[in-house]
C-alpha cells in the first residue's frame, strides 16, 4: 500500500493533533513498535521518525475494547 505522504506527522505534530496522548506515551509506543504492531505506521529516515496518521488511527482502532455478551 502506497503511503500518502501528506498524512505523515512528526512526534510533536501527532501529539498536538491527538488530545488524549502525551509525548511520553507516543515515545513509549514507538520504542515498542516492533512488539505492539505500530511499526506499520512508522517511517524512519536517518534519525527522523515520521508517523502515518491514518495507519496510527487504524492501530488505535485495533485496540478497541469490544463488549462481551453475557
With respect to residue 70, please indicate whether it lies within any of the assigned structural domains: no
Alpha-carbon gap, residue 65 to 63, rounded angstroms = 6
**Residue-range definition of the domain harbouring residue 41:** 5-61
68, part of any domain: no
- How many domains does the chain fold into? 1
What predicted TM-score, i.e. pTM, was given to this entire model?
Answer: 0.84
What is the pLDDT averaged over residues 21-28? Answer: 97
Structural domain includes residue 69: no
Residue 65 has pLDDT above 60, yes or no: yes
Please report whether residue 51 resides in a domain: yes
Q: Which of 14 and 2 is assigned the larger pLDDT? A: 14
Q: Distances from the Cα of 31 to the Cαs of 6, 45, 49, 64, 65, in angstroms?
A: 24, 16, 11, 21, 23
Look at residue 66 in the predicted model and tell me its pLDDT: 82
**Beta strand segments in 1-70, E:** 8-9, 42-45, 48-52
Amino acid at each position: 500500500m502506497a503511503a500518502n505522504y501528506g498524512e505523515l506527522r512528526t512526534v510533536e505534530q501527532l501529539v498536538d493533533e491527538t488530545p488524549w496522548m502525551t509525548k511520553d506515551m507516543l515515545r513509549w509506543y514507538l520504542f515498542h513498535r516492533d512488539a505492539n504492531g505500530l511499526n506499520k505506521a512508522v517511517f524512519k529516515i536517518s534519525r527522523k521518525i515520521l508517523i502515518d496518521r491514518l495507519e496510527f488511527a487504524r492501530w488505535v482502532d485495533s485496540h478497541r475494547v469490544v463488549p462481551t455478551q453475557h
